[in-house]
Amino acid sequence: MKLDAKIYVAGHRGLVGSALVKTLQSKGYNNIIVRTHTELDLIDSRAVATFFEEQKPDYVFLAAAKVGGIVANNTYRAEFIYDNLMIQNNVVHQSYLNGVKKLMFLGSTCIYPKACPQPMKEDYLLTDVLEYTNEPYAIAKIAGIKLCESYNLQYGTNFISVMPTNLYGPNDNFDLEKSHVLPALIRKIHLGKALEENNWKVINEDLNRLPIEKISGTASKETKQAILKKYGIDLIGEGKVSVEIWGSGRPRREFLWSEDMADACVFLIENRDFSDTYDKGVGEIRNTHINIGTGSDISIAELARLIQELIGFKGDFVFNTDKPDGTMEKRTDVTKLNQLGWKHRVDIAEGLSLMYDYYLN
């Protein structure tokens, strides 16, 4: 890509999109187009068509999506499939109609079967049933892969699909009602340490910055203690605090620093094409997507202990086995990505330290 190429990053305010914008800017790209949801609703087909006709981007990163944790995915099933299908259908189709040189579609490793062999290879797509709690979201992302493949095969477009593993990093969501496991644990353990030290100044600052169910640091001490307890941060004795973790703690997850993910995406769009994503000697072209990850994982219990050590929390963890574990193991096979020339740099210990510094600041 030329440094003055017109690059549209859809979803620039999210964890993925913001990392992409930062990486592109750091590499000297100076013609990046972004739109907020208010400025451009990607579910609106006419609005998306008008945007592409007027802007004519050369390259597109499709990072916009409706995302959430287990509860949100399982509760808002219709929204997760409808919104995501509409977003990707509109952006991919208009990219084709308006001659976009290259598009990158970002999905998720939840596309793989619930009982997928480990590590998860690209070839395992559509070989078994999906995890029930996020099935609608996964089906939408699978449709996005097939949409890109189909446009490439029929129309000769150059659309690449990448499936990042669990991401964390700047602009992550720390809302305890909606966040993913890693940022939720960081915030809960941070608040747990403050509670065990009776440090209400830290708790008040945290709640003022990000209220929980509209309860801020200005609420009464009893109200604040009650909302913390509701979200599993419980004072169980003098200076003794427990932090609840959903599930058994046994599920294993792979985590990738978001800026590593962005670096991989920019590397691929700069250096690789759709034709590099499949074996030329095979008649049927399938599974052209690329896993993006580290290839290593950690249990939720181990993750919690790493964060506990980092933050200095002395309390206990309570594993609520009435809550769902989700898929027990989700580790990507990153052989294809490595063969294409990219490998991650930030390991989980360094990433957690960076993440906690970001949260504090």
CATH number at residue 75: 3.40.50.720
| Model confidence band, residue 52 (pLDDT cutoffs 50, 70, 90) | very high
Give the CA distances from residue 218 to residues 68, 197, 238, in Å, rounded to whole numbers and listed in that order. 28, 19, 24
The strand order across the sheet containing 252-253 reads 298-299, 252-253, 329-330
pLDDT at 55 over 80: yes
Arithmetic mean of pLDDT, 57-77: 89
| Mean pLDDT score across all residues of the chain | 95
Answer whether residue 313 is part of any domain: no
Q: Residues 6 or more apart from 120 whose CB is under 8 A from it?
A: 109, 112, 291, 330, 331, 332, 333
Count of domains in the chain? 1
Is 242 within the bounds of a domain?
no
In a domain, 335, yes or no: yes
Question: Has residue 142 got a pLDDT over 80?
Answer: yes
Sign of CA dihedral 300, 304, 305, 306: positive
Taking residues 277-283, report their average pLDDT: 86
Q: What SS3 class is residue 326?
A: coil
Q: What is the mean pLDDT of residues 214-233?
A: 97
Question: Is residue 289 in a domain?
Answer: yes
**pLDDT at 316 (0 to 100):** 95
The answer to whether residue 197 sits within a structural domain is no
Structure confidence by residue, pLDDT tens digits, 161-173 = 999 999 999 999 8
Residue 308: inside a domain: no
Residues 6+ apart with CB under 8 A from 310: 352, 353, 356
What's the confidence (pLDDT) of residue 70? 75
Structural domain contains residue 181: no
Task: Name the pairing type of β-strands 233-237 and 240-246.
Answer: antiparallel
pLDDT at position 326 over 80 = no
Mean pLDDT for the stretch of residues 80-94: 98
Residue 62, H or E segment: strand 59-62
CA distance linking residue 61 with residue 326, whole number of Å: 29
CB-CB contact of 310 with 352 (8 Å) = yes
Confidence at residue 84, expressed as pLDDT on a 0 to 100 scale: 97
DSSP state of 130: P
Predicted model pTM? 0.92
At residue 280, the pLDDT reads 85
Kind and range of the H or E element at 246? strand 240-246
Cite the active site residues.
137
Range of 266's domain?
7-171+254-296+330-346
Regarding predicted confidence, which is higher, 111 or 282?
Answer: 111
